[in-house]
Chains A and B, each alone.
Chain A
């Protein structure tokens, strides 16, 4: 089965630093997402992205966050100035179209630790 790939699997950064989390969605997918999961808590939606635009974002996704699809294959999440509370597992996901029954594929996540 095709996979969504995320790198790195674990990233450690200092508070206030910029961090970029990288994802390679499945090649023919058109809709891309970021979710996050703070340890011990529920998975939370951050943002959805289609046709080089954000289609929906949550309250969590403030001005410190941005997403980009720079080269047609990668899909990145940037946090400009990390805070301690940004420590979480970040999941990238993709699907081929927005048909409601279309399966969403998740990556294995990047564990971000902000010190």
Chain B
């Protein structure tokens, strides 16, 4: 079974500062993908960044980067130079790749991030 845990229900940070959101996971899969999704007030789910477990290099997308620690099963998201538009709920998610049909995403409970002007 796969589990994803986000231990920070809410966070806030001043605009232009850097913030790190935490995520830990558990899986029996040998290979898997990890994702961060953003859900703004419109409630649409938007992919922020993804990481393949077999890749040691941390993924980066502009101001967003991850710190992937495979042994510790940790997958944190760092947002640099935070902007007001980053205010949203952020979900960490995992998907296994070893079995046909193992296609579902398992989500964490989310972290509500507020950027303060």
Q: Which residues of A contact B (CB under 8 A)?
A: 31, 33, 35, 37, 41-45, 48, 55-56, 58, 89, 91, 93, 98, 100-101, 103-104, 106-109, 111
Query: Does B52 sit within 8 A of A, measured CB to CB?
Result: yes
Cβ-defined contact, B108 with A106, below 8 A: no
Counting chain A CB atoms within 10 Å of each CB, the highest count among B33, B91, B104, B107 belongs to B104
Q: Nearest CB to that of B43 among chain A residues?
A: A109
* Residues of chain A with a CB closer than 8 A to B103's CB: 31, 33, 48, 55-56, 98
Cβ-defined contact, B33 with A100, below 8 A: yes
The distance in angstroms between the C-alpha atoms of A15 and B46, with both chains bound, is 31
* Residues of chain B with a CB closer than 8 A to A45's CB: 104-106
Cβ-defined contact, A41 with B43, below 8 A: no
Cβ-defined contact, A89 with B106, below 8 A: no
Cβ-defined contact, B104 with A48, below 8 A: yes
Cβ-defined contact, A42 with B52, below 8 A: no
Q: Nearest CB to that of B91 among chain A residues?
A: A43
Cβ < 8 Å to A, chain B residues 62-117: 91, 93, 95, 97, 100-110
The distance in angstroms between the C-alpha atoms of A35 and B105, with both chains bound, is 9
Also in contact, A44 and B45, with CB within 8 A (given A55-B101, A56-B102, A100-B95): no
Cβ-defined contact, B43 with A44, below 8 A: no
Cβ-defined contact, A58 with B104, below 8 A: yes
Cβ < 8 Å to A, chain B residues 21-39: 31, 33
